[in-house]
Amino acid sequence: MNNYKQMATASLLVASLVLSCRETQKPMLAKEISAINLKTGKVVLCGPEDKGVGKVSFIISGDDSTSKQFNFGIALLHSFEYDEAEKVFAQIIHRDPQIAMAYWGVAMCNFHPLWTPPEQPELIKGNKALEIARSINAKTNRESDYIQALSAYYKNWEKLDHRTRCLQYEEAMRKLSEKYPNDKEAAIFYALALDAAADPADKTYTKQRKAGQILNSLYPNAPYHPGVVHYIIHTYDYPELAHLALPAAEKYASVAPSSAHAQHMPSHIFTRLGMWDESIASNLASIEAARCYAQSAGIKGVWDEELHAMDYVVYAYLQKKDLKSAKQQWDHLNTFKEASPPNLKGAYTFAAIPVRYVLENRLWKEATKLTTTPAGFPMQQFPWQRGIIHFARLLGFVHLDQVDSAKQELGILKQLQQELLDKQKTYYANQVAIQINAAEGWILWKEGKPAAALEKMQLAADMEDKTEKHPVTPGEVLPARELLGDLYLEMKAPEKALAAYQANLEKHPNRYNGLQGAAQSASLCGNKELADFYARQLRAVTAADGKSIAGAP
């Protein structure tokens, strides 16, 4: 009996010490939490009344109410609704600062693995959130492992580059998923880490295929999990793999109908497969959801998610030769005075939509008049995007036989490439380098140097074939190998032009100018059957109410 009393007394003492510790930590945590500057306010979603974002079951410490709210935040996180997800995790922290995984959630919101690498304020916020998470004792070993795994990305962020830290995070998540083989979320986040760490130059897609195996093994038992279907799309967002993601692309929007990104993301696969009607429908829905969100959230100016969808829908309209609808989007773009946030996505859209319209339609005079500064947008911060406009101006001058003016634009492109190299933005510098080689090829052609011209244009096409497109774009403003086909046609070499167009159509199926160029080349080669085949494809692609044939021709 005395032993029982002693044990009871000891238990009460331990409990009181734990409570005392939690109470003494509160003012300390309050100061640290305030320093993070968490996003707060009402969670904003646009969509069906039930605000569907998918079904997630991530087990954490806390009562049922906390777990339910945490899973809501995780569902938002999986659809890249980072601002709203952070609000959810902030609400959990406000109610109970001892929920360590809520800080992990904040850090994940500021990592965004498949988007533009986080800027310094986001890295500071994520790192501080993880510091608090590590300091909290009231967490399970599994939660500690999640926190330590993400810490592998934020560790030494001041000294290590983004890719190195992504590789560290991938390895940490591999170990975590192996340690907890029955943890579905660990497997999903490991697949995401694999995609984030994938080498853009690896044409065997080793990491992506591994991620795909993981996600596809989970899909039968988790068909409404937003992360599973979403990451399948990202995993296979490559010309050679896109067909593998078509079922997920056709389903994702219905899994998370209240996410603007979920409405848009399927169009990545539709674009890869040349399914223009489906891409248009997807992006129009995304634009509507984005406008609703921006208005509800009080965003000043146009939200970047709307801009992103606009570029994709214009690209699709142009392939269907629906110039009226494409021009309406360009005109609407010109009404924006402010974009939020003023980031890479917005900069690309402001550059790409006008350039696509004039280049796809061979409006060379109009191309020479394009400007580089949309009203109220800091384009000077984005050399790659500015290069797109100067590339269009250069092609315009070349085709108008104004070689001196074209060379001036070439000089600007080289300056922009050097600026990117100086900033160690090697991927973007390579994108400009491709344009420089293509530009030099066309200038050399106009100067009467066909052999040198072909060498440069072939180099540009080969470089582009070895480089994956950035997720921000539905495709190059003009594919280099398609431009090579155009050059062969000017040189009156239809057989080689046909080969170039056909090779390009394998990577960019159902592109209008690719099909038209192939049809013209085949006709010039005397191959009426092949010319008729491409002509039929053109009619199918441009049909007003038709459905695109995935992967054709």
Q: What is the DSSP string of 217-228?
A: HHGGG-TT-HHH
Segments forming the whole domain that contains residue 78: 29-258
Cis peptide before 341, with omega less than 30 degrees from 0?
A: yes
- Give the distance from CA 292 to its chain's centroid: 21
Torsion sign over Cα 345, 347, 352, 354? positive
Cis peptide before 220, with omega less than 30 degrees from 0?
A: no
Q: Worst-scoring range by mean pLDDT, 261-265, 290-294, 315-319, 376-380?
A: 376-380
- Give the distance from CA 425 to its chain's centroid: 17
Residue the block writes with tokens 């935040």: 73
Kindly state whether residue 183 falls inside one of the protein's structural domains.
yes
Phi and psi of 502, rounded to 5°? -65, -40
pLDDT digits (tens, 9 = 90+) for 172-192: 999 999 999 999 999 999 999
Are the C-beta atoms of 552 and 537 separated by less than 8 Å? yes
Q: Worst-scoring range by mean pLDDT, 105-114, 372-381, 491-500?
A: 372-381
Residue 546 is predicted with a pLDDT of 47
Are the C-beta atoms of 172 and 92 separated by less than 8 Å? no
The answer on pLDDT for 96 being more than 60 is yes
**Position 337 confidence tier, pLDDT thresholds 50, 70, 90:** confident
Residue 8 is predicted with a pLDDT of 43
Kindly state whether residue 223 falls inside one of the protein's structural domains.
yes
63-80 exposure pattern, b = at least 16 Cβ within 10 A, e = fewer: eeebbebbbbbbbbbbbb
The domain boundary residue, chosen from 216, 241, 258: 258
What's the burial of 376, exposed, middle or buried (CB within 10 Å: 0-12/13-18/19+)? Answer: exposed
Mean pLDDT over 261-268 rounds to 96
342-370 exposure pattern, b = at least 16 Cβ within 10 A, e = fewer: bbbbbbbbbbbbbbbbbbbbeebeebbeb
Kindly state whether residue 542 falls inside one of the protein's structural domains.
yes
3 state DSSP class of 547? coil
- Alpha-carbon distance of 519 to 532, in angstroms, equals 7
Kindly state whether residue 350 falls inside one of the protein's structural domains.
no
Are the C-beta atoms of 350 and 379 separated by less than 8 Å? yes
Cβ-based neighbours of 329, under 8 Å, separated by 6 or more? 310, 313, 314, 317, 353
**How many domains is the chain partitioned into structurally?**
2
- What is the average pLDDT score of the chain? 92
Kindly state whether residue 449 falls inside one of the protein's structural domains.
no
Mean pLDDT over 14-22 rounds to 41
What's the burial of 386, exposed, middle or buried (CB within 10 Å: 0-12/13-18/19+)? Answer: buried
The answer on pLDDT for 216 being more than 50 is yes
Residue 545 is predicted with a pLDDT of 56
Residue 549 is predicted with a pLDDT of 43
3 state DSSP class of 340? strand
Residue 468 is predicted with a pLDDT of 85
Mean pLDDT over 160-182 rounds to 97
**Position 417 confidence tier, pLDDT thresholds 50, 70, 90:** very high
Residue 49 is predicted with a pLDDT of 59
| DSSP 8-state symbol, 117 | P
Q: Worst-scoring range by mean pLDDT, 341-345, 481-485, 542-546?
A: 542-546
The answer on pLDDT for 30 being more than 50 is yes
Torsion sign over Cα 460, 461, 466, 469? positive
CATH of the domain at 56: 1.25.40
Residue the block writes with tokens 């459905």: 547
pLDDT digits (tens, 9 = 90+) for 490-518: 999 999 999 999 999 999 999 999 999 99
**Position 201 confidence tier, pLDDT thresholds 50, 70, 90:** confident
The answer on pLDDT for 7 being more than 50 is no
- Token pair, residue 88, equals 């959810």
- Alpha-carbon distance of 267 to 475, in angstroms, equals 12
pLDDT digits (tens, 9 = 90+) for 31-50: 889 989 999 999 999 876 56
Q: What percent of the chain shows pLDDT beyond 70?
A: 92
**Position 302 confidence tier, pLDDT thresholds 50, 70, 90:** very high
Q: What percent of the chain shows pLDDT beyond 90?
A: 84
The domain boundary residue, chosen from 258, 284, 313: 258
Kindly state whether residue 3 falls inside one of the protein's structural domains.
no
- Alpha-carbon distance of 245 to 239, in angstroms, equals 11
* Residues forming a β-bridge with 303: 340
- Alpha-carbon distance of 464 to 470, in angstroms, equals 12
Closest CA relative to residue 81, chosen from 230, 246, 235: 230
Kindly state whether residue 82 falls inside one of the protein's structural domains.
yes
**Position 431 confidence tier, pLDDT thresholds 50, 70, 90:** very high
Residue 375 is predicted with a pLDDT of 67
- Alpha-carbon distance of 19 to 441, in angstroms, equals 73
- Alpha-carbon distance of 348 to 307, in angstroms, equals 9
The domain boundary residue, chosen from 205, 228, 258: 258
What one-letter code names the amino acid at 424? Q
Kindly state whether residue 412 falls inside one of the protein's structural domains.
no
Residue 51 is predicted with a pLDDT of 66
- Alpha-carbon distance of 184 to 356, in angstroms, equals 42
